[in-house]
Chains A and B, each alone.
Chain A
Amino acid sequence: MTSRLTARELTLAYEDRTVVHGLDLAVPDGKVTVIVGPNACGKSTTLRALGRLLKPRGGAVLLDGTELARIPTKRIAQAIGLLPQSPVAPEAITVADLVSRGRQPHQHWWQQWSDADERAVTDAMDRTDVTALADRPVDELSGGQRQRVWIAMALAQETGVLLLDEPTTYLDISHQVEVMDLVRQLNHERGRTVVMVLHDLNQAARYADHLVAMKAGRIVAEGRPEEVVTAELVREVFGLDSVVVPDPVTGSPLVVPGAPYSPPKDAPPKERIPG
């Protein structure tokens, strides 16, 4: 297994609060890696550091063996693309305009538009099925459409590595599946390396080649989802009692949480809110 993107003894902090402690990670090339963990475990922070949105307090992120801090930002942007959790589009920008801004790292001030730009943008919009929306303002689109537009922008950047921070948040279930399938397809057909942060453990188990479970700023377990996702791990990482069964469709591990709250028998409710 080879890794272009690695983290070595990575320590990340906001002001004086350390969020990630001495983390080592090798992102497998050409695979889909998914980072999961409870809220505030440092998974998004780790992803931000991999995309050099956050400077490490200690340790380093390496691209092809060189520290990110030593590589010109434009060169990094040609190799690593990142879609933040809730990107904000400028007011009144059109879909095609936004997607073409993904070409920024390949352009110069005297070379603002090339055939390669045109090809990449056309292709990215085609893959994400937003070509028909090209002239529409982004702020008029639905949540699912908008997310596809942002993914198109990240794709137009044509990077070997793509980092996605919770790309399915705010989407309904069918759009979630659509986005996840798109990511897998891109990974399969173009051999792109993908690193995602996901909230949903079952979604992670379904789509990941390599699963990384984090808790309190450290990696608790990593490997193939079948090896990593067990009732024991779910209890350790999320503090949740559950049963893990094979997914009836894919065979990947499916986490079924323990029984929901039910009122004890013969005990009438003590108090009712009037009205």
Chain B
Amino acid sequence: MSALSSTGPRVRPAGYAVVRAGRAAFLLHRRAAAVGSCLLALLAALCVAYLCVGESFVAPGDVLKVLTGQDSGAELVVGTLRLPRMVVGLMVGAAFGIAGALIQTVARNPLASPDIIGISQGASALTVGAMTFGVTSYTVLPYLSVAGGVLAAALVYVFAWRGGLHATRFVLIGIGFAIALRSLTTLFMTKGDYLVAQQAQIWMTGSLNGRGWDEAAPLGWVLLALVPAVLWAARAQRTVSLDDDTATALGVRLGRVRLGLVVIGVVLASVATGAAGPVDFVALLAPQIARRMTRTAQIPLFCSALTGAVIVVLADLLARKLFSPTELPVGVLTAVIGAPYLIWLIVRSRTTGGK
């Protein structure tokens, strides 16, 4: 702690707490921290419910035994089937949440998200294309999906570039690419075998069905590697959310910083799509819900990640249970859960709706 000379009241950024550690000092948005804590608690409760509920009910005590490595007879159902699937769901939701937040920040548009500007469609086109040409291995397809997403994003970025990145241009060209790539996917599906088409259809809706540790591990490593990048992004958002001239005047190299944010967002979205397919609306809804809960001036990354995870885990829990024993793809339910909540938030806060 440093001693402040006490001459009159000092101004601090309203709503922030200054967290000091030696010479380092970090700004922490108080409300975002509170909302984040609540979301974490909610997520923990959901995770317990997720592991207990299913075709057969497992008591919370037995779930705990499996988690702590004790034998309880529920090892197969909880440890092998539900737990890895839940972990994939958590990571996919968090990745989509952050990806949406970053792309919406750069595009300065709440409607921009990986599933609107062509990234998910790029992933779908390449994956479905490969399926029709006989690639069915689930160890290869996720990588193709990542490649498709990154490729589509690169094309959108190059076409939108004109001496600088214009936010509206970026979104419009992205929408154009999304439509074109969706047609391409449809073309592949009609050309392919009907069994392949059916399999592709499920993949495109987004599903966690049958996901295990083999899918969880690579996803986890990629997310872990991106943690420093996301911390950097959270800091960069403070200036990128200002207008171009003001940000530049503050010494921000806007072109580079934006490219950095887009790259992180695209990688996250592509990797998540590779693991679970394009789970629609999570990337679109989670950041906006998080922002309205925290009332921050920029989209809060950490809370977007938690909101995304909550949506996916809750949606998959319902997808497994609602029509049991039939399991719905998780993508069918994410929008059903997120959209009404977002609409309710917007209607309730009339002051921020008109801008």
Chain A interfacial positions (CB closer than 8 Å to B):
48, 51-53, 73-78, 80-84, 87-102, 104-105, 109-115, 118-119, 121-122, 125, 131, 134-135, 139, 153-154, 157
A-chain residues with CB within 8 Å of residue B243 when the two chains form the complex: 84, 87-88
Bound-complex Cα distance A91 to B351 (A): 10
CB–CB A125/B11 < 8 A: yes
Bound-complex Cα distance A99 to B10 (A): 13
B1-17 residues at the A interface, CB under 8 angstroms: 2, 4, 8-16
CB–CB B14/A95 < 8 A: yes
**Residue B245, interface by CB 8 Å:** yes
**Residue B210, interface by CB 8 Å:** no
B-chain residues with CB within 8 Å of residue A122 when the two chains form the complex: 8-11
Chain B interfacial positions (CB closer than 8 Å to A):
2, 4, 8-16, 18, 23-27, 231-232, 235, 238-239, 241-243, 245-246, 248-253, 295-298, 352, 355
Bound-complex Cα distance A96 to B27 (A): 13
Tell me the nearest residue of chain B to A79, going by C-beta. Answer: B251
A-chain residues with CB within 8 Å of residue B231 when the two chains form the complex: 109
A78-B251, A112-B27 given; name 16 further pairs at CB < 8 Å.
A75-B251, A84-B245, A84-B249, A87-B243, A90-B297, A94-B13, A96-B14, A98-B297, A101-B239, A109-B231, A109-B232, A110-B26, A113-B12, A122-B11, A134-B14, A139-B355
From A53, A112, A125, A131, give the contact of B249 (CB < 8 A). Answer: A53
Tell me the nearest residue of chain B to A136, going by C-beta. Answer: B14
13 of the cross-chain contacts (CB-CB < 8 Å) are A77-B251, A83-B246, A88-B246, A92-B352, A102-B250, A104-B252, A105-B251, A112-B26, A113-B16, A113-B27, A118-B10, A121-B11, A134-B11
Tell me the nearest residue of chain B to A85, going by C-beta. Answer: B245
Residues A53 and B248 in contact in the complex (CB < 8 Å), given A122-B11, A139-B355: yes
CB–CB A77/B249 < 8 A: yes
Tell me the nearest residue of chain B to A73, going by C-beta. Answer: B251
Residues A100 and B4 in contact in the complex (CB < 8 Å), given A52-B248, A77-B251, A90-B297: no
Bound-complex Cα distance A98 to B245 (A): 15
CB–CB B249/A51 < 8 A: yes
CB–CB A90/B242 < 8 A: yes
CB–CB B25/A113 < 8 A: yes
A-chain residues with CB within 8 Å of residue B12 when the two chains form the complex: 96, 100, 113, 118, 121
Bound-complex Cα distance A53 to B249 (A): 7
* Top 6 A-B pairs, shortest CB-CB distance: A77-B251, A93-B297, A84-B245, A82-B249, A94-B14, A88-B243
A-chain residues with CB within 8 Å of residue B352 when the two chains form the complex: 91-92
From A97, A102, A118, give the contact of B15 (CB < 8 A). Answer: A97
Residues A53 and B245 in contact in the complex (CB < 8 Å), given A73-B252, A96-B14, A113-B27: yes
From A74, A111, A154, give the contact of B24 (CB < 8 A). Answer: A111
CB–CB A91/B242 < 8 A: no
- Distance of B30 from chain A, by nearest CB (Å): 12
A-chain residues with CB within 8 Å of residue B13 when the two chains form the complex: 94, 96-97, 100, 113, 121
Bound-complex Cα distance A131 to B8 (A): 12
CB–CB A90/B298 < 8 A: yes
Tell me the nearest residue of chain A to B16, going by C-beta. Answer: A97
B-chain residues with CB within 8 Å of residue A154 when the two chains form the complex: 249
CB–CB B11/A76 < 8 A: no
CB–CB A115/B2 < 8 A: yes
A-chain residues with CB within 8 Å of residue B242 when the two chains form the complex: 87-90, 101
B-chain residues with CB within 8 Å of residue A87 when the two chains form the complex: 242-243, 245-246
B-chain residues with CB within 8 Å of residue A131 when the two chains form the complex: 11
CB–CB A113/B18 < 8 A: yes
- Distance of A109 from chain B, by nearest CB (Å): 5
B-chain residues with CB within 8 Å of residue A77 when the two chains form the complex: 249-251
Bound-complex Cα distance A73 to B298 (A): 23
CB–CB B26/A82 < 8 A: no
CB–CB B15/A109 < 8 A: no
CB–CB A114/B25 < 8 A: yes
From A48, A73, A96, A104, give the contact of B253 (CB < 8 A). Answer: A73
Bound-complex Cα distance A77 to B252 (A): 9
Bound-complex Cα distance A23 to B296 (A): 44
